[in-house]
C-alpha cells in the first residue's frame, strides 16, 4: 500500500490521505490530533479513521472497499501510513524556496548538518508532496575556467538526477 494523494487543512496540516492498495483500490483515510484527554505536558495522540462509511450495495467497487475496511490489519496499516504523512508535513521546516515559474515552485528544508535536503511542492500542485531526505551533491561546472590549482568550479545541487535544484538558486526564508 502507498499514499498517492493528500488533502491539507488551511494550516498546511494533513487532514486526509488517499491510499492505493495492492488490489488497486483507492481509499481515503482521515487523520487528526486527538485532543480529547489533553495533558499540557504531552503531545496529543495522532489518530484516524476511514473516510468512507456509507456503501452502495449495488456497486461492486463499494463492496470491495467495505470488505477491505472490515479487516483490522488493513486499518492498522492505513493508519500508520496516514500518521507518517501527517508527521512528515507537520515536522517540515521551511528554510528556503525555489521558483520554477510563476505557476510552480518548491519549499526547501535543509538538514541540521547541511548535507541533505527535503523538497516540498509549495505551489502549482493540488497534491503537495514532501520528498525523502536527498543528498546535496557538488557538481563540477565544465564550462568554468580552472583555478590556479587546476580545479574547476563546482556548485551544490539538490538531487541532480531528479529535482536538480541548484542550491545557489534557493532563496532563504526568514522564519
pLDDT 10s digits, 129-146: 888 999 999 998 888 888
Parse the chain into domains and list their residue ranges.
Answer: 2-91, 96-172
- Cell matching residue 35: 485532543
What value, to the nearest 5°, has the Cα angle with vertex 96 and ends 93 and 97? 115
Rg (CA), the chain: 21
pLDDT at residue number 40: 72
Tens of pLDDT, residue by residue over 23-75, are 899 999 999 988 776 677 777 788 999 999 898 999 999 999 999 999 999 99
Tens of pLDDT, residue by residue over 83-127, are 998 888 888 898 999 998 887 889 999 999 989 999 998 876 777
H-state helical runs in the chain: 60-69, 72-91
Q: How far apart are CA 162 and CA 148, in angstroms?
A: 33
Using DSSP's 3-state secondary structure scheme, residue 89 falls into helix
Q: Is 69 exposed, middle or buried (0-12, 13-18, 19+ CB in 10 A)?
A: buried
pTM for the whole structure = 0.72
Using DSSP's 3-state secondary structure scheme, residue 107 falls into strand
Using DSSP's 3-state secondary structure scheme, residue 61 falls into helix
- Helices (H) and strands (E) counted in the chain, each on its own, are 2, 11
**Residues paired with residue 154 on neighbouring β-strands, in sequence order:** 140
DSSP-derived pairing of the beta strands 171-172 and 14-20: unpaired
Q: What are phi and psi of 20, to 5 degrees?
A: -100, 125
**pLDDT tier for residue 76 given thresholds of 50, 70 and 90:** very high
Amino acid at each position: 500500500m502507498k499514499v498517492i494523494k493528500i488533502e491539507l487543512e488551511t494550516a498546511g496540516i494533513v487532514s486526509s490521505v488517499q491510499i492505493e492498495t495492492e488490489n488497486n483500490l483507492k481509499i481515503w483515510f482521515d487523520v487528526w490530533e486527538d485532543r480529547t484527554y489533553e495533558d499540557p505536558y504531552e503531545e496529543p495522540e495522532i489518530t484516524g479513521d476511514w473516510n468512507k462509511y456509507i456503501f452502495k450495495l449495488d456497486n461492486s467497487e463499494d463492496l470491495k472497499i467495505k470488505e477491505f475496511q472490515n479487516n483490522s490489519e488493513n486499518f492498522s496499516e492505513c493508519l500508520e501510513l496516514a500518521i507518517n504523512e501527517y508527521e512528515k508535513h507537520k515536522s517540515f521546516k521551511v528554510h528556503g524556496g525555489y521558483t520554477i515559474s510563476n505557476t510552480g515552485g518548491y519549499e526547501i528544508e535543509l538538514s541540521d548538518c547541511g548535507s541533505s535536503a527535503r523538497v516540498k511542492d509549495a505551489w502549482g500542485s493540488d497534491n503537495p508532496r514532501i520528498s525523502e531526505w536527498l543528498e546535496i551533491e557538488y557538481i563540477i561546472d565544465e564550462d568554468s575556467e580552472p583555478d590556479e590549482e587546476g580545479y574547476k568550479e563546482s556548485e551544490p545541487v539538490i538531487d541532480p538526477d531528479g529535482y536538480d535544484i541548484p542550491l545557489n538558486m534557493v532563496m532563504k526564508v526568514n522564519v
